[in-house]
Amino acid sequence: MAKHMRTRKHGFSLVEMAIVLIIIAVIVGGGLVIFSNSLDKQRYEETEGKLKVITQALADYRRAFGRLPCPADITRNMEATSSNYYGIEGATPGMCTGGTPSASALTGPYFVDGMVPTKTLRLPDDAAIDGWGRRITYVVDNRLTAANAFTSITVSDSTTRMSVTTNTATPVTLSDKVVYVVLSYGENGHGATPRSGGATIISSGSSNTHELENCDCTSTAAAGTANSIFVQGPPNTEDTSDVNKNFDDLLVYATRAGLRSGAE
């Protein structure tokens, strides 16, 4: 008598399917985290590189012309036309106010801010755009934008200037004789002007006191009280409970003595 063999077809149960999907999700999620971290690092390194290029260009300009350039109008659109004045320093060196192109607003006694004057420094247009697609800010002691400012004895190193401190709980002054600051507002972009320019200021809701010091603004990016203090330090992004408390600004600066000697 012939025996009939029954074959049993096996398929995935719902439990097995769920396990497979979980594993795939973990793999994909891990890949996305790695990609995101890699992209963040790339943007950070790109910005650091641009800050170095800008500081070198400012040092070269100071050596060539005996002064620093005024900031460019940070609200201008990036248009490759001579009439646009994108990246051209503000008028009237020594004051950096008035005239054409229009100059940046005075932010404090002897200090003016705006965009890095890329065309004046003979840099590419996007040299003033950080890795996150925002304008890099340039703040300068306007007295040192006057003709032959670095050979003049009327502005001494003991004169009140901008200060740069650390982003620590108890800030330490790195220098109180700062003649310029070049600043990217980092990944969160709080206080920055977008790539397109205009009057809009980016608000990420930052409540970090050091970031608010750098932008002279509030947590909603409304204009605060301008002063001459800026903050430099490594990124502080470990507070995952409230990312708005973190610090991610990138800042470089120079002193008059440093520029005179070429050390900074």
Element (H, E) at 188: none
User: Which pLDDT does position 26 carry in this prediction?
Assistant: 66
The token pair at 36 is 């995101």
pLDDT of 17-32, one tens digit each?
777 777 776 666 555 5
Measure the CA–CA gap between 249 and 217, rounded to whole angstroms: 14
Measure the CA–CA gap between 117 and 52, rounded to whole angstroms: 15
CA angle 217, 168, 54 (to 5 degrees): 65
What share of the chain in percent tops pLDDT 70? 80
Q: Is 23 exposed, middle or buried (0-12, 13-18, 19+ CB in 10 A)?
A: exposed
The token pair at 119 is 């065309």
User: Which pLDDT does position 47 carry in this prediction?
Assistant: 96
Overall average pLDDT of the 26-50 stretch: 74
Q: Concatenated DSSP letters for 47-95? A: HHHHHHHHHHHHHHHHHHHSSPPPPB-TTS-----TTT-TTPBPSSTTT
Q: Tell me which of 150 and 53 has the higher pLDDT.
A: 53
Overall average pLDDT of the 105-129 stretch: 89
DSSP 194: B
Residue 184 — pLDDT band, cuts 50, 70, 90?
very high
Contact 205, 221 (CB under 8 A): no
User: Which pLDDT does position 264 carry in this prediction?
Assistant: 40
pLDDT of 65-94, one tens digit each?
999 999 999 988 876 555 678 999 988 888
Question: What's the whole-model pTM score?
Answer: 0.82
Q: Find the radius of gyration of the CA atoms of the chain.
A: 25
